[in-house]
Structure 1
Amino acid sequence: MAQSDFLYPENPRRRQEVNRLHQQLLDCLYDSFQATNKLIEVLNMHLGCRLDSIEMKKDGTIKENCDIIIRAMTKIQSVLQKVDEALKDKLEPTLYRKLQDIKERETVKIAMVQKIISVILGEATSAASAVAVKLVGSNLTTGIINKLVNVLTQIGASLLGSIGVAVLGLGIDMVFRAILGAVEKTQLEAAIKSYEKHLVEFKSASEKYHHAITEVTNAVKRQMK
C-alpha cells in the first residue's frame, strides 16, 4: 500500500475505478476502429474508393489512436462530399430534394440514384445506389461523424490523451503512475471525473455512428439478395 493510502484509505478503490473506466474507454476506441473499417470496406467495394483500413496503435497513446480515427473519418467525409456534390449536379433540383427527404421511400431513392450513378462511378449497381442513398441522404457526414470527431478531439486534448492504450497490462499501480504520477486523492478524483464525462459523450456518439453504419451494410445486403 502506498504511504498516502494511510491518509486516504479510499485511494485503492479509486485506482480500481480508474482502471475500470480506462478499459471502457479502450473498448469504445476499439469499437470505433472496427466500425470505421466496416464503412471503409463498403466504400471501397461499392463506391470504388481506395481508402486504407486503420489499425489500433497498441503501443501508442489515447490521443494518437483518436487521431488515427479522426484522419480516417476526415477522408470518408471528403469522399461522401464528392458523391453528394456529383448527385446534386446530375439530379434535377426536385429529385435531389427527394433524396434528402426522410419521408421518401428508400426504394424510390435507390431507383432514382441508379439512373445516374453510372455517370459518377462508371457503373450502375443497386448496391452502389443503396450506399449512396444511405450515406448522402442522411446526416452521417454532417452530423454523426462530426459529433464523433469532436468527442475524439476533446478526449485527445484532455488529461486522458497522454495515457498509453496498453497501460492496463502493466497492473493497477503502473496504470496509476502512468496517469497521475502521484497518489493524491484530488488527482484520482479528477481522473475519474474526466473519464466519466468523456465516456458518456463517447458512448452516445459512437452508438449513433455504429447504428448508421449497420443501416448502410443492411441496405447493401438487401440489394445483393
Structure 2
Amino acid sequence: MAQSDFLYPDNPRRREEVNRLHQQLLDCLSDSFHATNKLTEVLNMHLGCRLDSIEMKRKGTIKENCDIIIQAVMKIQNELHKVDEALKDKLEPTLYRKLQDIKERETEKIAIVQKVISIILGEATSVASAVAVKLVGSNVRTGIINKLVTVLAEIGASLLGSIGVAVLGLGIDMIFRAILGAVEKTQLEAAIKSYEKHLVEFKAASEKYHHAITEVTNTVKLQMK
C-alpha cells in the first residue's frame, strides 16, 4: 500500500477507477485507428487516393497516438477537399449547389457526380460516385472530422497526453510513479475528472465519425452487389 493510502484510504478505489477509464480511452483510440483504416481503404480503392494505413504505437503515449490519428484524418480531409474542388470546377453551379443541399435525394446527387467523375478519376463507377456523395456532399469532411481532430488535440494537450498506452502492463501504481508522481487524493481526483471529461467528448465525436464511415462502407457494399 502506498504511504498516501494511510492518509487517503479511498486512493486504491480511485486508482482502480483511473485504470478503468484509461482502458476505455485506449479502446476508443483503437476503434478510431480501425475506422480510419477502413475509410482509407475505401478512398484508395474507389477515389484513387494513395493514403497509408496507420498503426497504434503500443510503446507510445496517448498524445503520440492522438497525433497519428489527427495526421491521418487531416490527410483524408485534404483528399476529400481535392475531390470537392474538382466537382465544383467541373459541374454547373446549379448542379454543384444540389450536392450541398441536404434536402436533395442521394440518388440524384450520385447521378450528378457520375456526370463528371470520369473526368476527375479517369473512370466512371457508381461506387466512386456514391462514395464521393457520402463524403464530399455531407458534413463528414468538415463538421465530423473537424470535431474529432479538436477532441484528439485536447486529449493530447491534457494531463493524459503523456501517459503511455501500454502503461497498464506495468501495473496500476506505475501510472502514477511515471506520470503523476506521489499518489495523492487531489492528483487522483484530477486524473479521474480529466478522463471522464475527455471520454464523454471523445465518445461522442468518434461515434459520429464511425457512423459516417459505416454508412460509406455499407454504400460500397450495396453498389457492388
| TM-score, normalised relative to structure 2 | 0.98
1:18 matched residue in structure 2: 18
2:6 matched residue in structure 1: 6
Q: Distance in 2 between matches of 1:213 and 1:10?
A: 42
**Amino acid of the residue matched to residue 25 of structure 2?**
L
Tell me, yes or no, if structure 1 residue 133 matches structure 2 residue 133.
Answer: yes
Aligned 1:41-190 pairs, distance under 5 A? 41-190=41-190
User: Structure 1: where are the runs of 5+ without partners?
Assistant: none
Q: Distance in 2 between matches of 1:162 and 1:176?
A: 11
Aligned-pair CA distance for 1:140: 0.5
| TM-score, normalised relative to structure 1 | 0.98
1:35 matched residue in structure 2: 35
Q: Distance in 1 between matches of 2:180 and 2:94?
A: 58
Aligned-pair CA distance for 1:176: 2.7
User: Structure 2: where are the runs of 5+ without partners?
Assistant: none
- Is the CA contact 1:167–1:178 (under 8 Å) kept in the aligned structure 2? no
With 212-221 and 13-22 compared, the bigger mean Cα shift is at 212-221
CA RMSD of aligned residues (A): 0.7
Q: Distance in 2 between matches of 1:74 and 1:183?
A: 38
**Amino acid of the residue matched to residue 16 of structure 1?**
E
Tell me, yes or no, if structure 1 residue 206 matches structure 2 residue 213.
Answer: no
Aligned-pair CA distance for 1:179: 3.1
Offset from partner CA, 1:135-179 (integer Å, 9 cap, x none): 000001110000000000000001000000000111111123233
In structure 2, the residue corresponding to 1:26 is in which secondary structure? helix
Q: Distance in 2 between matches of 1:129 and 1:112?
A: 9
Q: How many residues align?
A: 225
